[in-house]
């Protein structure tokens, strides 16, 4: 059994626009994060490097996947109703920036804007946070929902893509928010399988590898 882990760092963003028409920008210490939309969408991307697995004709069978983090996001000068969605995603297919922006809304369900299929989604956790009356005074956001989707389907791919996406609601009264670090963890076993099954899985992995990859 192998335990694989990738980390996404702590970041913060500040709004120089208005609550109803925000212009969000990253604080200087926000390493590894990019602004997908100044309206309030951010991403940190990484990948699990499984190089050499195809050369050894091995298949990765997932046992479990999880996300480790420390605290809920916090908001400066926030007001009840401020909200955000945080997505932790591990997939066998790389996503374009447009697809990353769509994922918090469509996930991997059958919809015109869906970026991934069920099988391509190793694991995803989607959490929604809000500022409510009780927490507005000290700035901590409350988690109001958490959902998990994904197949944990075996793969012959040399990469598992790891994304963390943050999307804010509008209007957003807060002038700044902070999202704390997280770690994506996979438990998996590398095994051989029947040649025909492996070749079909390898073909599928190759097709996915031809998709957009920003590396």
Taking only the tens place, the pLDDT of each residue in 65-107 is 999 999 999 999 999 999 999 999 999 999 999 999 999 999 9
Looking at the DSSP assignment, which residues form a beta bridge with residue 188?
2, 62
Taking only the tens place, the pLDDT of each residue in 174-213 is 999 999 999 999 998 887 755 545 455 455 555 555 555 4
Taking only the tens place, the pLDDT of each residue in 97-136 is 999 999 999 999 987 778 899 989 999 999 999 999 988 8
Whole-number pLDDT of residue 215: 46
Distance CA 145, CA 180 (A): 18
Distance CA 160, CA 6 (A): 10
Residue with the bigger pLDDT between 45 and 111: it is: 45
Residue ranges per structural domain of the chain: 2-209
Is residue 203 packed enough to be buried (19+ CB in 10 Å), middle (13-18) or exposed (0-12)? exposed
DSSP string, 165-186: EEEE-SS---SEEEE--EEEEE
Whole-number pLDDT of residue 189: 86
Whole-number pLDDT of residue 58: 77
Report whether 61 contacts 154 (CB < 8 A). yes
Give the C-alpha distances (Å, rounded to integers) separating 16 from 12, 27, 85, 176. Answer: 13, 12, 21, 9
The answer, yes or no, to whether residue 36 has pLDDT greater than 60, is yes
Taking only the tens place, the pLDDT of each residue in 142-185 is 999 999 999 999 887 888 999 999 999 999 999 999 999 999 99
């Amino acid at each position: 059994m192998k335990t694989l882990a990738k980390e996404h760092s702590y970041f913060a963003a500040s709004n120089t626009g208005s609550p109803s028409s925000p212009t969000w920008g990253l604080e200087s210490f926000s390493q590894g994060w990019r602004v997908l939309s100044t309206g309030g969408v951010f991403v940190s991307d990484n990948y699990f490097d499984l190089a050499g697995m195809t050369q050894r004709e091995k298949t990765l069978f997932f046992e479990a996947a999880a996300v480790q983090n420390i605290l809920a996001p916090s908001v400066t000068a926030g007001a009840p109703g401020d909200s955000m969605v945080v997505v932790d995603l591990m997939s066998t297919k790389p996503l374009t920036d447009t697809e990353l922006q769509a994922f918090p809304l469509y996930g991997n369900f059958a919809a015109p804007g869906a970026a991934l299929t069920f099988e391509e989604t190793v694991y995803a956790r989607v959490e929604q946070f809000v500022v409510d009356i009780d927490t507005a005074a000290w700035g901590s956001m409350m988690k109001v929902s958490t959902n998990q989707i994904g197949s944990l389907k075996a793969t012959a791919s040399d990469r598992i893509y790891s994304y963390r996406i943050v999307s804010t609601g509008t209007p957003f009264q807060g002038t700044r928010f902070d999202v704390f670090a997280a770690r994506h963890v996979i438990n998996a076993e590398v095994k051989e399988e029947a040649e025909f099954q492996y070749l079909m899985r390898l073909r599928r992995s190759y097709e996915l590898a031809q998709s957009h990859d920003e590396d």
